[in-house]
């Protein structure tokens, strides 16, 4: 699933091509994409409106349209936005006509979504119910993370994946952050010390920043709007490195299952909590 760096990469590439332009045509080809709205309802709400700003919140792309209409787009597992694709995409779920550009939402597994928020209050309510702090903003401090962690008995890996606590961090960047922090993914969040929370905070920021510099990670499906893959996968320290040597100590990287997700760890650098079992 595209995470914060991948979504921000898409936003950065698309913004110059969509901001200030009018959505001259919108065609929702897959009714699942717009649920609970019918395709015709969503098309009518946004077609003909000017795109004021293309933003991001967590893993959502936020299309701010004129008259305070917001299209909230989530890529989910395999969704991506492609600008003037050549050859044409094979799994187009939505088409946007921007006049001099054609933009398509391509999604082989059909998990991506588009939702509407009408007005700033509805937008705030939508995100308040779904997302926590942005990890690249000043509010994401070690103290804030420690206060959140004290309220959760979940493994720290699951805690970081909970979008209501930290927005935008997914499986890849959680593994990379915990390795940098030398914290085992099975450690209960409420047992983390202040020093460990500070290390995790720094690990999250460092991993995300490297992901942004690398234009995201392409392990399966991620591409930017021009169809180009990211390069963070070439810089990952443990994620997908099962059986390889830890870059810090030489121990073998192991793959575990945490919170239902494949999780990569060096159990010499990241000491397993005593009660943890896999």
For residues 58 and 237, give the distance between their C-alpha atoms in angstroms, rounded to a whole number. Answer: 23
For residues 194 and 1, give the distance between their C-alpha atoms in angstroms, rounded to a whole number. Answer: 30
Choosing from 5, 43, 56, 59, the catalytic residue is 59
pLDDT of res. 227: 64
CB proximity list for 162: less than 8 A, separation 6 or greater: 132, 152, 154
pLDDT of res. 277: 52
59 an active-site residue?
yes
247 an active-site residue?
no
Binding residue ranges: 91, 109
Binding residue ranges for DNA: 91, 109
Choosing from 3, 8, 43, 176, the catalytic residue is 3
Identify whether the C-beta of residue 80 lies closer than 8 Å to the C-beta of residue 106: yes
CATH class label, 142-265: mainly alpha
Rounded (10°) CA dihedral 208, 184, 172, 220: 160
Choosing from 130, 261, 268, 272, the catalytic residue is 261
Provide the mean pLDDT of the chain: 93
185 an active-site residue?
no
For residues 92 and 265, give the distance between their C-alpha atoms in angstroms, rounded to a whole number. Answer: 37
Query: Quick check: 278 pLDDT over 60?
Result: no
255 an active-site residue?
no
Choosing from 2, 39, 85, 155, the catalytic residue is 2
Which pLDDT band, with edges at 50, 70 and 90, does 219 fall under? low
Burial of 60 (0-12, 13-18, 19+ CB in 10 A): buried
**Domains in the chain: boundaries:** 4-129, 142-265
pTM of the entire structure? 0.92
Domain 4-129: homologous superfamily in CATH = MutM-like, N-terminal (3.20.190.10)
Q: What is the pLDDT of residues 171-217, one digit of tens each?
A: 999 999 999 999 999 999 999 999 999 999 999 999 999 999 987 87
């Amino acid at each position: 699933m595209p995470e914060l760096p991948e979504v921000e990469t898409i936003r950065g590439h698309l913004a110059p091509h969509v901001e200030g332009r009018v959505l001259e045509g919108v065609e929702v080809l897959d009714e699942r994409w717009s649920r609970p709205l019918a395709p015709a309802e969503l098309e009518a709400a946004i077609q003909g409106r000017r795109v004021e700003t293309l933003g991001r919140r967590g893993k959502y792309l936020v299309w701010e349209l004129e008259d305070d209409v917001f299209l909230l787009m989530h890529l989910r597992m395999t969704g991506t936005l492609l600008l003037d694709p050549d050859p044409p995409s094979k799994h187009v779920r939505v088409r946007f006509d921007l006049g001099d550009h054609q933009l398509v939402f391509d999604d082989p597994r059909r998990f991506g979504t588009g939702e509407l928020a009408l007005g700033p209050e509805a937008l705030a309510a939508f995100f308040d119910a779904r997302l926590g702090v942005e990890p690249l903003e000043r509010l994401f401090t070690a103290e804030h993370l420690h206060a959140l962690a004290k309220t959760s008995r979940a493994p720290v890996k699951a805690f970081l994946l909970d979008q209501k606590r930290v927005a935008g961090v997914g499986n890849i960047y959680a593994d990379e952050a915990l390795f940098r922090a030398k914290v085992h993914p099975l450690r209960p969040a409420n047992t983390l010390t202040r020093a460990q929370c500070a290390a995790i905070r720094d690990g999250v920021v460092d991993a995300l920043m490297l992901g942004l510099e690398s234009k995201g990670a392409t392990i399966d499906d991620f591409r930017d709007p021009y169809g180009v893959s990211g390069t963070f996968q070439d810089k990952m320290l443990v994620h997908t490195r099962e059986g390889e040597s830890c870059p810090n100590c030489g121990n073998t990287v192991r793959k575990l299952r945490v919170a239902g997700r494949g999780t990569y760890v060096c159990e010499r650098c990241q000491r397993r909590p005593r009660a943890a079992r896999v």
